[in-house]
Chain A
Amino acid sequence: MKNSREIDEIIERYCFGELTPEELRIFEQWLESDPQLTASVNDFLSLENAFENYRERLALRKKIESVHEEVEFDLFNTPTPLKVVKSSGSTKFLFGKERSYLSIAAAVSIFILSAVSLSLWMLGNGSSKNQNAYRELRREVEKIKKNQKEIIKGINADDVKGDLKQFTGTGFAITKDGYVLTSFHVIQDAKQIYISNESAGQFQAEVVYSDRSLDLAMLKVKEDSFPGFKEIPFSIKKSISDPGEKVFTLGFPREDLVFGDGSISSYTGFEGDTTAYQISIPLNPGNSGGPLFDNQGNLIGIISGKNESAEGASFAVKSKWINDYINLKSDKNILLPSNKLLIGMDRASQIKRLKDIVFMVKVYN
């Protein structure tokens, strides 16, 4: 007499056609006399059928999922009117209109920016005793030892001079062709700058322009073999966000990308600084220069620092100023991103899109 495990094994081998002719003959005789066995065989067959169906469905789902990923761009992207205009006549008209608008905007921006810069500069000088409470969040990684330096020196004497210190911060791409925004204090006094993340790898970058009072810096990848970044999925918000709005950031306070979220807690930054928000995201050195996004995935600021004497008070430069700042430079190479690929996505999917364009900025000086 066989136990139930042995019976099940024989059924399985029968269904897979693995029985020897002798076994098959005995099994078929047994089938005729035992309706219970026939039922078990049918059960196994429908289970096997379900396994096969499951396998096929998984493959189909995978295919559909890849279709989804390919069209995701179109699903959430509502093209801006400017992009739609293609015929040369109307483009010209629009461009002219656009340009006059831009020049007015630029003129206004220059005025506002210089006024703010001046007042910030004066504020900075005047209240220097309070400066220690504001902590910029770049991270000093390590002092490279002298003997180590000399080894490097031996290999490449031109590249390394003096005592090297390494700092890290965060930066993020705003164009596909290599422009990266970060904080001024991250790249301050930099001799060499590298940006890196898991998917893109590491690239050397240089400062294109920077502004101390706004604490902004624009970097550009300066490698010949640079393949370009992935599609920039966000747009830069031009209006001011309100306290209470949920926000999140991605940054490199350690070697890996770290997500942090919270809300905007005030319209103004450290000591009433109108160019920044106060936000309630716990931040650490290394977060500086990181992008700040709202729920829809619009860029609304850049992480700049935190108040050391108050818990949970961090600061971020408002995106409005980023926008004005870049427009002010009126650099034709920089087309501000205006995609809305992140709208309607859950947070995890948003981060999946964003992680490819957020970088650790490594600075040697």
Chain B
Amino acid sequence: MNQVQPVAEIEILELLKAGDDKTLKVIYRQNYQTLVSFIINNGGTLQEAKDTYQETIIVFCEKLKQDGFELNCSIKTFLYSIGRRLWLKQLKRKSRFTTEELNDGEDYLPIEEDKADEREEQFYAMNQALEQLGEPCRSILKDFYINGHSMEEITQKFGYTNADNAKNQKYKCLKRLKKSFFEVFNNGVATNEEF
């Protein structure tokens, strides 16, 4: 079902690609209600709907920037299709839902998995893995690997007697993070830790 794309939409895509904030706001506002209603109608809370919608916008922007990207439907349909699939994935993670029987309010297109999806999954897995870690591991790893703090800063901040103690703690934390990150990333969900 290839529709001819209105000229205005091509311009919008160009503006978005160039990182125009005004256009982003317009697109964000125009499509918010449709997707949020869809998610709320399919077992989501308002917060989940908002989060998924924002993820949808991010995935959309990433797809736009990929080489050879071509849109052969309206932006609205495309966003709805991305959001729909993200929400379906989320439902599977929550294992509340396994079939594709959703209450749809809009037409949608099947969307192929690509790099943007992998990044979304990576983010999800990292987020889950960090959540599971608990403190002080989460903060130590975030400070070192994400915020780029030095080991000296971390030693001081967390009150370790010397840098070697801090390094040892970081090493143990990273080992645990690695385990749960690959578990979530490869299986979609975390298996419960054995006792």
Minimum C-beta distance from B127 to chain A (A) = 7
Give residues 111-150 of B contacting A (CB, 8 Å).
Answer: 119, 122-123, 125-127, 145-146
Q: Are B46 and A346 in contact (CB under 8 A)?
A: yes
Q: Are A75 and B32 in contact (CB under 8 A)?
A: yes
Query: With an 8 A cutoff between CB atoms, is A272 at the interface?
Result: no
How many of chain B's residues touch chain A, expressed as a range?
A: 20 to 34
Q: Are B58 and A64 in contact (CB under 8 A)?
A: yes
Q: Are A50 and B122 in contact (CB under 8 A)?
A: yes
Q: Are B58 and A71 in contact (CB under 8 A)?
A: no
Taking A50-B122, A54-B146, A74-B29 as contacts, is the C-beta distance between A68 and B174 under 8 angstroms?
no
Taking A53-B122, A61-B58, A75-B29 as contacts, is the C-beta distance between A68 and B50 under 8 angstroms?
yes
Residues in chain A near residue B58, CB distance under 8 A:
57, 60-61, 64
Picked from B24, B167, B171, B181, the residue with its CB within 8 Å of the CB of A50 is B181
Residues in chain A near residue B181, CB distance under 8 A:
47, 50
Picked from B54, B61, B126, the residue with its CB within 8 Å of the CB of A53 is B126
Q: For the complex, what is the distance from the CA of A95 to the CA of B4, rounded to whole Å?
A: 46
- Count residues on chain A whose CB falls below 8 Å from chain B CBs: 27
Query: With an 8 A cutoff between CB atoms, is B168 at the interface?
Result: yes
Q: For the complex, what is the distance from the CA of A9 to the CA of B168, rounded to whole Å?
A: 10
Query: With an 8 A cutoff between CB atoms, is B28 at the interface?
Result: yes
Query: With an 8 A cutoff between CB atoms, is A70 at the interface?
Result: yes
Q: Are B24 and A67 in contact (CB under 8 A)?
A: yes
Q: Are B57 and A64 in contact (CB under 8 A)?
A: yes
Q: Are B126 and A344 in contact (CB under 8 A)?
A: no
Q: Are B123 and A53 in contact (CB under 8 A)?
A: yes
Residues in chain B near residue A74, CB distance under 8 A:
29
Residues in chain A near residue B46, CB distance under 8 A:
344-346
Query: With an 8 A cutoff between CB atoms, is A49 at the interface?
Result: yes
Minimum C-beta distance from B182 to chain A (A) = 7
- Residue among A9, A50, A75 with the most chain B CB within 10 A? A50
A-B pairs under 8 A by CB, number:
67
Residues in chain B near residue A49, CB distance under 8 A:
122
Q: Are B146 and A9 in contact (CB under 8 A)?
A: no
Q: For the complex, what is the distance from the CA of A57 to the CA of B116, rounded to whole Å?
A: 11
Q: For the complex, what is the distance from the CA of A5 to the CA of B146, rounded to whole Å?
A: 21
Q: Are A54 and B126 in contact (CB under 8 A)?
A: yes
Residues in chain B near residue A70, CB distance under 8 A:
25
Minimum C-beta distance from A220 to chain B (A) = 35
Give residues 135-179 of B contacting A (CB, 8 Å).
Answer: 145-146, 167-168, 171, 174-175, 177-178
Residues in chain B near residue A64, CB distance under 8 A:
28, 54, 57-58
Q: For the complex, what is the distance from the CA of A158 to the CA of B51, rounded to whole Å?
A: 57
- Residue among A65, A70, A71 with the most chain B CB within 10 A? A71
Residues in chain B near residue A68, CB distance under 8 A:
28, 50, 54
A12's nearest neighbour on chain B, judged by CB, is: B174
Query: With an 8 A cutoff between CB atoms, is B21 at the interface?
Result: yes
Minimum C-beta distance from A14 to chain B (A) = 15
Q: Are B54 and A65 in contact (CB under 8 A)?
A: yes
Picked from B24, B25, B126, B175, the residue with its CB within 8 Å of the CB of A51 is B126
Q: Are B174 and A8 in contact (CB under 8 A)?
A: yes
Q: For the complex, what is the distance from the CA of A54 to the CA of B171, rounded to whole Å?
A: 20
Q: For the complex, what is the distance from the CA of A9 to the CA of B163, rounded to whole Å?
A: 14
Picked from B57, B119, B145, the residue with its CB within 8 Å of the CB of A57 is B119
Query: With an 8 A cutoff between CB atoms, is A161 at the interface?
Result: no
Query: With an 8 A cutoff between CB atoms, is B192 at the interface?
Result: no
Q: Are A8 and B47 in contact (CB under 8 A)?
A: no
Residues in chain A near residue B41, CB distance under 8 A:
none
Residues in chain A near residue B66, CB distance under 8 A:
none
B141's nearest neighbour on chain A, judged by CB, is: A51
Q: For the complex, what is the distance from the CA of A345 to the CA of B47, rounded to whole Å?
A: 9
Query: With an 8 A cutoff between CB atoms, is A23 at the interface?
Result: no
Q: Are A75 and B33 in contact (CB under 8 A)?
A: yes
B19's nearest neighbour on chain A, judged by CB, is: A63
B27's nearest neighbour on chain A, judged by CB, is: A67
Taking A71-B25, A75-B29, A346-B47 as contacts, is the C-beta distance between A50 and B126 under 8 angstroms?
yes
Q: Are A51 and B145 in contact (CB under 8 A)?
A: yes
Q: Are A57 and B29 in contact (CB under 8 A)?
A: no
Q: Are A50 and B28 in contact (CB under 8 A)?
A: no
Give residues 170-188 of A contacting B (CB, 8 Å).
Answer: none
Q: Are B54 and A54 in contact (CB under 8 A)?
A: no
B146's nearest neighbour on chain A, judged by CB, is: A55
Minimum C-beta distance from A57 to chain B (A) = 5
Residues in chain A near residue B177, CB distance under 8 A:
47
B51's nearest neighbour on chain A, judged by CB, is: A61
Q: For the complex, what is the distance from the CA of A344 to the CA of B46, rounded to whole Å?
A: 8
Q: Name 11 extra pairs, CB < 8 A, besides A50-B122, A346-B47.
A: A8-B171, A49-B122, A50-B123, A51-B145, A51-B146, A55-B146, A64-B54, A67-B21, A68-B50, A71-B25, A74-B29
7 contacts between A and B (CB under 8 A): A5-B171, A9-B167, A50-B185, A54-B126, A55-B146, A64-B54, A75-B33
Going nearest first, the 6 A-B pairs with the smallest beta carbon separation are A51-B145, A54-B126, A71-B29, A57-B123, A64-B54, A50-B126
